[in-house]
Amino acid sequence: MLELLFCSILTILPDYLYRRYAQGKRIGKEITLYSVWFELRWGITACLMLTVGLITVIFYNHPSTSSATLYFRTVPIVSETNGRVAEVNVGFSQQVEKGAPIFRLDNSQQEAAVEAARRKIAETEAALIVARADILAHDGKIQEARSAHQQALDELRTKQELRRRNDDIVATREIERLENLVTGREAAIYSATAAKEADQARISSLLPAERASAEAALAQANVELAKTVVRAGVSGRVEQFTLRVGDIVNPFMRPAGILIPQEAGRNRLQAGFGQIEAQVLKIGMTAEAACASKPWAIIPMVVTDVQGFIASGQVRAGEQLVEAQQTARPGSILVTLEPLYAGGLEGVTPGSSCIANAYTSNHDVIASKDTGAVKRVVLHAVDAVGLVHAMLLRIQALVLPIQTLVFGGH
């Protein structure tokens, strides 16, 4: 409507003034309702053509969209294991800090595993004490075996000396018995020494390995025990938390609730613009937005990112080939807008529906020495007509509460 009024001032109004005052035609006489088209046909035609051209220039170079939202991510509250809820620490809707417990599952099995691992460590420490005592016992046995070996060896040498002097004094059978006895006592020394070395190996290698395994089992049991307590991964607000004591929790079925991070949806606005405006939308463009949750307010913004892909064109591996005609509606160019000033989105509820305008600026091209005079005039006009879109946005922001509350019936 604004474009039509503006164009009519440049076309229909001069045509009417020329016929009224230059040609002397009068309203109600020569200019009637039936003769308006014939009398003002050149002005009306020029007005329609100029209006279409002006609308095209405005909407192409200064794109607008009503599909703008403050999207925010949600963190599902899911346990890492199955179990029955034993304790709930938050209500249906509550602010929580990072690391705060949300709910706890029954942990009797995990506590039993922790206690078993602790007992295993204690058992390993007791075995270490026993092994050290066994080493002392083996030292005594080694000394005893060496004494017995030395006694048998001395007796053998004595009998051998007596026989050397006189063969009839000591029998051959006696010498053989003593030699066997010395060999047996020497084997006893080796046996006691081997037993001592085995206990030393247990102390230095086996028992430390068993203790390390027991400590690892205790650590694993503590990890499993910690999994029974579900904590907040980030600071935020728990919403729609209906879990209660006695409920069965299965992470593969559904989350227990939703945690919304504290800063989610408060720093940027995502807007979907038409595909035909892909060549116009650039990072750094000035933009404005008006949101339903903050009426009568225009928020200055800037384009910080333009997504290089359109979501409607994505494909996933499946059993069927993609049929292009199955795409119900063309996708849009996703653009990220951030407030031009700190606190610009303050008071805007995350998830709010917004209207956004982006404005093309040709200042650098106009200021360039390589730009011709005609092109400068055209670019000046293109930048100037952005005022029309800015006016439309402010009118929309002004009538939005009235349209919603009065005519919308909300």
Q: What is the pLDDT of residue 337?
A: 92
- Asked if residue 144 and residue 189 are part of one domain, the reply reads yes
Range of the domain at 126: 108-222
- Asked if residue 397 and residue 284 are part of one domain, the reply reads yes
Q: What is the pLDDT of residue 28?
A: 66
Alpha carbon separation from 50 to 29, 86, 336 (Å, rounded): 29, 72, 33
- Asked if residue 101 and residue 125 are part of one domain, the reply reads no
- Within 10 angstroms of residue 346's Cβ, the number of other Cβ atoms is 10
What's the CATH number where 293 sits?
2.40.30.170
Q: What is the pLDDT of residues 369-380, one digit of tens each?
A: 888 888 888 888
Q: What is the mean pLDDT of the chain?
A: 80
Q: What is the pLDDT of residues 121-157, one digit of tens each?
A: 888 888 777 777 777 777 777 777 777 777 777 776 7
Q: Which helix (H) or strand (E) holds 96?
A: strand 94-96
Q: What is the DSSP string of 216-284?
A: HHHHHHHHHHHTTEEE-SSSEEEES----TT-EE-TTT--SEEEEETTTTSS-EEEEE-GGGTTT--TT
Q: Cα–chain-centroid distance for residue 226?
A: 22
Per residue, the 3-state secondary structure of 39-83, as one string, reads HCHHHHHHHHHHHHHHHHHHHHHCCEEEEEECCCCCEEECCCCCE
- Asked if residue 243 and residue 171 are part of one domain, the reply reads no
- Asked if residue 247 and residue 113 are part of one domain, the reply reads no
- Asked if residue 391 and residue 246 are part of one domain, the reply reads no
Q: CA–CA separation, 381 vs 92, rounded Å? A: 56
Strand 269-273 versus strand 248-249 pairing type: unpaired
- Asked if residue 240 and residue 205 are part of one domain, the reply reads no
Q: What is the pLDDT of residue 296?
A: 87
- Asked if residue 353 and residue 236 are part of one domain, the reply reads no
Given CA atoms 39, 45, 50, 55 in this order, what sign does their dihedral have?
positive
- Asked if residue 373 and residue 238 are part of one domain, the reply reads no
Do the domain assignments include residue 323?
A: no
Q: What is the pLDDT of residues 280-300, one digit of tens each?
A: 888 988 999 998 888 888 999
Do the domain assignments include residue 96?
A: yes
Do the domain assignments include residue 321?
A: no
Do the domain assignments include residue 209?
A: yes
Residues 72 and 351 sit within 8 Å (Cβ to Cβ): yes
- Asked if residue 180 and residue 112 are part of one domain, the reply reads yes
Residues 284 and 356 sit within 8 Å (Cβ to Cβ): no
Do the domain assignments include residue 319?
A: no
Q: What is the pLDDT of residues 30-83, one digit of tens each?
A: 677 666 666 667 777 777 787 787 778 878 888 888 889 988 888 888 888 888
First to last CA, the chain: 27
Do the domain assignments include residue 324?
A: no
Q: What is the pLDDT of residues 231-267, one digit of tens each?
A: 888 888 888 888 888 888 887 777 878 888 887 778 8
Q: Where are the beta strands (DSSP E) in 113-255?
A: 229-231, 236-239, 248-249
pLDDT bucket at 349, cuts 50 / 70 / 90: confident
| Residue 197 pLDDT exceeds 60 | yes
Q: CA–CA separation, 238 vs 92, rounded Å? A: 7
Residue 331 burial (C-beta neighbours within 10 Å; 0-12, 13-18, 19+)? middle
Alpha carbon separation from 384 to 283, 370, 396 (Å, rounded): 20, 21, 20
- Asked if residue 155 and residue 100 are part of one domain, the reply reads no
The total number of structural domains that make up the chain = 4
- If DSSP codes are grouped into helix, strand and coil, which group holds residue 215? helix
Q: CA–CA separation, 79 vs 257, rounded Å? A: 11
Do the domain assignments include residue 99?
A: yes
What's the CATH number where 98 sits?
2.40.50.100
Do the domain assignments include residue 237?
A: yes
- Asked if residue 188 and residue 114 are part of one domain, the reply reads yes
Q: What is the pLDDT of residue 7?
A: 63
